Structure formats: structure tokens, C-alpha cells
């Protein structure tokens, strides 16, 4: 308890809640270690894997309130990561984030990938604005992204613990490619494909004291 209070007086604290129960928690915990950020500064609960976006936002709110009751002023920022995919609660989750930000001074940030998180990994190796669509009775849009990713990480599977190790030297390239894609998607008037994972990565690189 004393260590927590001492750290809170010196450092920023954030929470990262993700739809993926393994892929995203492994990736961001290993990025944290790579950047030399203290474990206590970045809380990454992995117990909500498989939750739909609205449920995920609800759980993030619960965790936020628990921390707020323990230590004022609570988390400096809460990142909620989920995919567009085919989720029926996607819009409800975004609306709930807007409500929470009005209540908590914009501390909540939604991190969305269309169609899925693996697009961020693809962008480590190349720039692409190719849209992804579900192939009926064959593959989901995310499966198609994973097929592209396997051209560069041949043994990739969701939940692999070595994903960050396979991409760590290229995350600056991924940031540039994601930013370019973001601008291109605005011009094209579509979000397929897109990701703002780079916003979270840049926050970890630039905003958290090491």
C-alpha cells in the first residue's frame, strides 16, 4: 500500500482493457517491459477476453471506480481495446465511452481496429489500405487479415506470447503506417481498414515516465 502511494505521487497510472484475453495483454505487457515502464503503472487485466465491446466498457468502468476509491485521482487514463468485427454492441460501447468521458474529464480512450487487432501487426511490415471482407462460409474478415500477417510471421496464432518479439524492431514503422492509413481513410470516407492502436503505443512511449 505504501509503495502504491509513493508511486502514485511520482508517476502516471493507466489501465488497458482488451477484448482479446491473450494477444493484446501479452503484446502490451511486453511493450511495457521493452520501454522500461514499471509494472505498477500499467494495469492490464486479462480476465475479460471474449467480452463484447459494451460489456468490456462496463467492466473498464467498474475497474476504474475500484481504483478511484483506493487512490485519488484514480487512473490517469483508461484504454479500452476492441475490434469492429461483427459486434452488435459496437455503437453502444462507443456511446458509453462518450458518457464516461463527460463524467471523468476525458480519461477514457477507445482503441478500435477494423476489422481486428491483427491489422496493427500487419502495419509493422508494410503499408496497406486494402479493405477486408468476410468470405461467406469460408473466412471472417479477421481471418483474411491473419492470412496477410502470416506472410511475415509464418507461425502467428492468436495468443502467441512471442508476437511482440517478432515485431518490436518495427513498431515505429507501424506508427507511421497507421497514421498514414488514418489520413487516407478520412479522405476515402471509410474505416475499412483502420486502427488507432498507434495512439496507445505513442502514449506509452511519450507520456509515461520511465
pLDDT of residue 3: 61
pLDDT of residue 155: 96
Mean pLDDT, the chain, whole residue set = 93
Q: Residues 73-125: pLDDT tens digits? A: 789 999 999 998 778 999 999 999 999 999 999 999 999 999 999 999 999 99
Q: How far apart are alpha carbons 65 and 60 in whole angstroms?
A: 9
Higher pLDDT: 113 or 69? It is 113
Q: Residues 136-163: pLDDT tens digits? A: 989 999 999 999 999 999 999 999 999 9
Lowest mean pLDDT among 4-8, 50-54, 100-104, 146-150: 4-8
Domains contained in the chain, number:
1
pLDDT of residue 208: 87
Q: How far apart are alpha carbons 149 and 23 in whole angstroms?
A: 14
Cβ pair 46, 183 in contact under 8 A: no
- Is the model's pTM score more than 0.85? yes
Q: In this structure, what C-alpha cell is assigned to residue 115?
A: 476489422
pLDDT of residue 71: 79
Domain range for 169: 2-206
Find the CATH number of the domain harbouring 64. 3.40.50
Q: Which residues pair with 175 in a beta bridge?
A: none
Q: In this structure, what C-alpha cell is assigned to residue 20?
A: 482479446
- Tell me the average pLDDT across 36-42: 93
Q: Among 102, 193, 85, which Cα is nearest to 140's?
A: 85
Amino acid at each position: 500500500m505504501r509503495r502504491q502511494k509513493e508511486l502514485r505521487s511520482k508517476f502516471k497510472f493507466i489501465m488497458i482493457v482488451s477484448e482479446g484475453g491473450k494477444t493484446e495483454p501479452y503484446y502490451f505487457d511486453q511493450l511495457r517491459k521493452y520501454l522500461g515502464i514499471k509494472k505498477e503503472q500499467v494495469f492490464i487485466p486479462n480476465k475479460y477476453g471474449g467480452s463484447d465491446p459494451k460489456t468490456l466498457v462496463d467492466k473498464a468502468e467498474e475497474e476504474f471506480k475500484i481504483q478511484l476509491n483506493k487512490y485519488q485521482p484514480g487512473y490517469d487514463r483508461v484504454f479500452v481495446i476492441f475490434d469492429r468485427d461483427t459486434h452488435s454492441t459496437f455503437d453502444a460501447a462507443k456511446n458509453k465511452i462518450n458518457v464516461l468521458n463527460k463524467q471523468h474529464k476525458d480519461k477514457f480512450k477507445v482503441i478500435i481496429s477494423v476489422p481486428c487487432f491483427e491489422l496493427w501487426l500487419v502495419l509493422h511490415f508494410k503499408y496497406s489500405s486494402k479493405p477486408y471482407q468476410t468470405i461467406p462460409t469460408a473466412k471472417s474478415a479477421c481471418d483474411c487479415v491473419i492470412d496477410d500477417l502470416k506472410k511475415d510471421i509464418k507461425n502467428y496464432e492468436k495468443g502467441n506470447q512471442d508476437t511482440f518479439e517478432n515485431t518490436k524492431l518495427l513498431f515505429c514503422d507501424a506508427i507511421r503506417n497507421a497514421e498514414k492509413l488514418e489520413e487516407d481513410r478520412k479522405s476515402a470516407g471509410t474505416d475499412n481498414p483502420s486502427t488507432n492502436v498507434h495512439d496507445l503505443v505513442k502514449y506509452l512511449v511519450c507520456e509515461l515516465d520511465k
